[in-house]
Amino acid sequence: MCLAIPGKILTTEDRNGIRTGRVQFGGITREICLDFLPEAAAGDYVVVHVGFAISRVDREEAERSYQLLESMGLLQGELESDVDNS
């Protein structure tokens, strides 16, 4: 099953014509493609699916979504695989 997860953009940069950003999901940070959201900036919250930011959301909505996913146990495997890959 694939999920779109909310995260906070920490930084943005242009890398060889591709707009990327470091996005934080709870305690995990990943590099994400921001090309679909040219207006997204550091400090914004975005919904990410398979490495691409697909929409912007406000902070409250991002936190509600993250808490719901966490309460359902859907993030546990992601957190464990991130630790295993460190």
pLDDT digits (tens, 9 = 90+) for 10-21: 999 999 999 999
DSSP states of 31-54 as a string?
A: EEE-TT-TT--TT-EEEEETTEEE
Max CA separation in the chain (angstroms): 39
pLDDT digits (tens, 9 = 90+) for 37-62: 999 999 999 999 999 999 999 999 99
Residue 70, CB-side half-sphere exposure with 13 Å CA sphere: 11
Task: Tokens 């707009």: give the residue.
Answer: 19
Instruction: State the chain's mean pLDDT as an integer.
Output: 85
Average pLDDT over residues 18-25: 95
Predicted pLDDT of residue 70: 79
Percent of the chain with pLDDT over 90: 60
Which CATH fold would you assign to the domain 5-76? Answer: SH3 type barrels. (2.30.30)
**What is the rounded CA–CA span in Å between residue 63 and residue 39?**
21
Given a cut of 50, whether residue 80 has pLDDT beyond it is: no
